[in-house]
A and B are shown apart, each in its own frame.
Chain A
Amino acid sequence: MRRFILSGLLALCVFSLFAQHHSLSDTIVLEEVSTYATVKKYQAGAKVESISAEQLDIAQAGSLNDLLGRFTPLYLKADAGGLATIRFRGTSADHTSINFGGININSLTLGSSNFSSVPMYLFDDVDLQYGSSSAVNGSGSIGGAVYLGLKNNWTDGFRVQATGSFASFGEQLYGTKVYVGNGKFESVTRLYYFTRENDFTFRYPQDGKEYTQRGARIENMGLLQELNYRFDSQQWLKTSIWLEDDWHEKQPEMASSVGDNLVISGLDNEHIRLWSEYENRNHAINYKAGVGYVRDVQIDGENNEQKISTDRLVAELEGKQDITTNFGYKAGLKYMYVEPDVYSYSAAVIDYEQRADLYASAFYTAWRKLKLTLNLRQQFVTDFEVPFTPSVGAEYRLYTNALSIVKLNGNVSRSYRVPTFNDRFWGVQGNPDLNPEKGMNYEMGIQYQYCSEVFQTDLKLNGFYMDVDDWIEWRPTGTNGDWVPENRSRVISKGIEFTSNSDLFFDGYDISISLNYSYNPTEIKEDGLNRLVGKRLIYTPEHIANTFIQFKYNNWSLSVDGSFTGDRQVDYSGSIANPEGNLLDAYAMLNCGISRKLIVLEQPISLRFNVRNVLDNDYQNQLNYAMPGRSFQLSLSTDLKFYKNN
């Protein structure tokens, strides 16, 4: 009993201090205050991480690409802010789902999202699930999942937050968040406008001269409106509408940017994303029902005749019951209706598509030491056969004392990806008979947590092995369209990840240190082209590491973060210097910042000054695309509370 109480205290201690990082995985945390809570309850053994509040604050003027690129061991293939796609655990851009409420915001035509167009200013939480999560998220969650979260404040009164941020190369962000409520009804309005000229100077390797980047301007704006109503403490209705208009010039390669005949063209993306969810926990069986609508429109070069657009309706119903504290289950049904409007799709081939998901999950805790979870999911797609996706997970508390816990965990899951609309219906090249990509993910890890009055730490070491078959690639056929999608490859991605978050408190100082490292070799195991067998995937670095250190004292905060991205293979054809394939050099980045909180007219004001790429490193994330050197950012934020919050 004593051990149990100590464990409970430890759990409470660590949770309270690390809530921004992650909840204790043996503690079932149901954060009613978070609209889009993590899915850890039914995902024992899965690696789920949250970005800390401090890191979110530092990157609030940037995009999801800026945030993940700095603070996580994830690789994003990116240019200087216009386009960024993720390579989660060596998988491709369309193997990661990005979840906002009950919606996966990935484009249904491309299958992926532009991480440079997800503004951090609009969100309160970002959670990452590493590895396959198709059993809980459906198609496309082979490499991992990103969850964009909004905190529920149930504001009682009126609160205004405003931020202005100014940085080198013409970067400006203006944002405001307005909270109005009476404790039961709440309206939260979040608005932002971001622009960057991106007229930085870069050195062109061919002649060693310096040039000014052209054709890389960015202008994004968005509105996220929440309307929430709480019937009682166990019953509420929440609605979020996210409107986004993103425009950027398609950054030219350096060679084009330095030329005298550069043609600059823009790409415009407009999105409407709505998710409304009613949840009732007043009964033995809790239930929730959600409906959503998503409209994605892309216009290339202001040519409305070449519009790429989809409309989708989403509905979900879910019931769950905790029969005892040790055993619970949930089951649900999700439905989606999609209507594409793409200039290159023939209406005879695709008019609309319906998708339905049946899913069930359960958890069981034995001897207070072992937690087991099971997830089952079957999706049905119009004229398409989708594999059944189960996953099982386990967590075992190996050792516990008054200050520390050691846990072992493991997870086995099956995953899949339904080919995108483009894969199946684009022009004459799309192939409706493609197979879905299918993956198996095996994961094991050990976690150590320590919590004392002056020091807390959370260390994780995970190993994973992912086997993805029927990997779809577009390759040339040379006839009637040149490139077609094919189920070409079987790919193995494996690796080891180390994650640590520590806090040290003494004499009023608070020092936070996090360190992440990922070793992720990939291998093409089978391919229609024999010469690719045994090769690593392009744009998948084997080594990624980053660290974040923050000192806090009184109202001052000083932070330093650094990252290392290993070399990446960019082709298999090579050059005279690298006949086996060209490599893009590894690079390191260092950023730092200082912030100060002030009280002016009894209202809090926060000042922050950041230096990005402190060492002014000349590097390329994507081959032949220039990246900015050292830059400076100054931001000013206020948080005006006219009534005290609950």
Chain B
Amino acid sequence: MKKLVKLLPFFLALVALVASCSDDDDIIDQNPDELVKGAYILNYGGYSNDAASVTKYDYDADQLTSFYDQQQNNGAIMVSAPQWIYEHDAHIYVMGNEPDRVIIYDPLFVGQDTITTDIVKPRNCIADGDYLYIACWGGEVWNDNSISYIAKYNTVTKTVESTIALPGGPEGLEVANGKLYAALNYENAVAVIDLSSEAVSYIETTAVCSYLLKDNSGNLYVSLVGTYSNPSEGAGLGYINTATDEITIYPLTMSSSYATIMALSNDKAKLYAIGASGYPVVGGVRVFNTQTKEFEEEALISDVTGIKGISVNPENGDIYVLIDNGSNVNGEMKIYSADHELQDTKEVGASPAMTLFLD
């Protein structure tokens, strides 16, 4: 027994040593939650300027950090008129235009890589398994809508494995029921790509499309918009049953802005859509009841110019509305509570396009 007691310190030391060598403690968390958690506002800026940036908003501490991406990358300016931001498997993907590329950041927004091969005018992306599907316009799609495609990026091998020709200028993407849905911005249709065969079919719409949202049942909302090159009387909100690929239209003058012009509340009972009617085209946010499939009479916001994007904080349900004041001047972010009360207004970067929530 004495021997055992004498050996106890040795055993304790051994246990401590073994414990200190355990896998858990050996791997240092590179992206601790307390540093990552927050709302990240992607500021588009504009072509031919250096105004693109990411603003970080720590909503717990009510702390705003402008030029967060530049802070994390030794002052380097994104340069790239970022179109869309997306998180998948601890990587942040930003679709950049001018130059055309997908920029990959880690969750702390430290630049990791860029994808340029087979990436021409990237618009949007969605992940499914090991693949990231990237909607690309392929060039001046407004002059030739046959040049657009979907790039299939393997997130493991980090290469674009193939491209799927998809005329019509794909914009928003969603995956549902084993199919990739692409909102076409230069055709009155939503393209449906069978992910196993890559066969393409189409759902006809009453206007060109821009953005897709998936509800809890795996069905999709699509924004149908009138643009100057494709004016339409058929604008509105479309609801696609992904089992039958049938669409139901709910008329509304939708925003023709890109990125996030629709957002679902956390309980998916409400859909917020940026829209307006008449001239001047002053913006507003309409509320769509997803149960009754009707727009509420009272808008969330009325008569605010420059509304560009809307998002819902997945943690507390606050609604973030982005106001664009121009490509070279700072924009605003209005924060509404889930019950539609204006809480705060924050100054963000130029031409804020969308908000990404990380935790």
Contacts and interface: CB of A to CB of B under 8 A. Distances in A.
A and B: interacting chains:
yes
A505 B274 CA distance: 73
A475 B256 contact: no
B140 A429 contact: no
A487 to B, nearest CB: 11
B283 A479 contact: yes
Given A260-B117, A427-B228, A576 B281 contact: no
Contacts of B49: 570-571, 582, 623-624
A207 to B, nearest CB: 11
A624 B79 contact: yes
A8 interface: no
A250 to B, nearest CB: 10
B294 interface: no
A458 B151 CA distance: 66
A303 interface: yes
B118 to A, nearest CB: 7
Interface string A269-300: 00000000000000000000000000000001
A303 B145 CA distance: 11
A261 interface: yes
A508 interface: no
Given A255-B99, A475-B325, A573 B45 contact: yes
Interface string B124-163: 0000000000000011101110000000000000000000
B67 interface: yes
Interface string A605-642: 00000000000000000111100000000000000000
B276 interface: yes
A478 B261 CA distance: 9
Interface string A414-451: 00000000000011110100000000000000000000
Interface in B36-87: 43, 45, 47-51, 53, 66-67, 70-71, 75-77, 79-80
Nearest to B119: A261
Interface in B177-219: none
A582 B226 CA distance: 35
Interface stretch (B11-19, B262-270, B302-310, B311-319): B302-310
A265 interface: yes
A344 B75 CA distance: 41
Contacts of A480: 225-226, 253-256, 276, 281
A51 interface: no
Interface string A567-590: 000111111110100100000000
B290 interface: no
Interface stretch (B168-176, B237-245, B326-334): B326-334
Contacts of A577: 70, 75
A584 B295 CA distance: 48
Contacts, number: 193
A344 B229 contact: yes
Interface in A113-135: none
Interface in A438-479: 473, 475-479
Interface range on chain B: under 10, 10 to 19, 20 to 34, or 35 or more?
A: 35 or more
Contacts of B281: 428-429, 477, 479-481, 484
Most chain B beta-carbon contacts within 10 A, residue among A258, A477, A486, A574: A477
Contacts of A475: 305-306, 325-326
B51 A624 contact: no
B82 to A, nearest CB: 13
A426 B306 CA distance: 18
A262 B121 CA distance: 10
Interface on chain A toward B: helix, strand, loop, or mixed SS? loop
Nearest to B322: A478
B227 interface: yes
A484 B119 CA distance: 30
Most chain B beta-carbon contacts within 10 A, residue among A261, A263, A529, A582: A261
Contact of A478 (B51, B67, B79, B274): B274
B257 interface: yes
B330 A572 contact: yes
Contact of B256 (A306, A482, A531, A622): A482
A646 interface: no
Contacts of B80: 255
A573 B100 CA distance: 22
A538 interface: yes
Interface in B273-314: 274-276, 279-284, 305-308
B228 A481 contact: yes
Interface of B: 43, 45, 47-51, 53, 66-67, 70-71, 75-77, 79-80, 98-101, 116-121, 138-140, 142-144, 225-229, 231, 253-257, 274-276, 279-284, 305-308, 323-330, 349-351
Question: Lowest 10 CB-CB distances: which A-B pairs, in order?
Answer: A427-B228, A571-B328, A573-B350, A303-B143, A478-B307, A576-B67, A256-B99, A576-B70, A479-B276, A301-B143
Given A263-B120, A579-B66, 20 more contacts: A206-B79, A255-B80, A259-B99, A261-B117, A263-B140, A265-B143, A427-B227, A427-B229, A427-B231, A428-B226, A475-B325, A476-B306, A478-B305, A480-B225, A529-B325, A531-B330, A570-B50, A575-B53, A576-B70, A623-B49
26 contacts: A259-B101, A261-B99, A261-B119, A265-B140, A301-B143, A301-B144, A303-B143, A303-B144, A306-B229, A427-B228, A431-B280, A476-B305, A476-B308, A476-B325, A477-B280, A478-B274, A479-B274, A479-B276, A480-B225, A480-B256, A480-B281, A481-B281, A572-B350, A575-B70, A577-B75, A624-B50
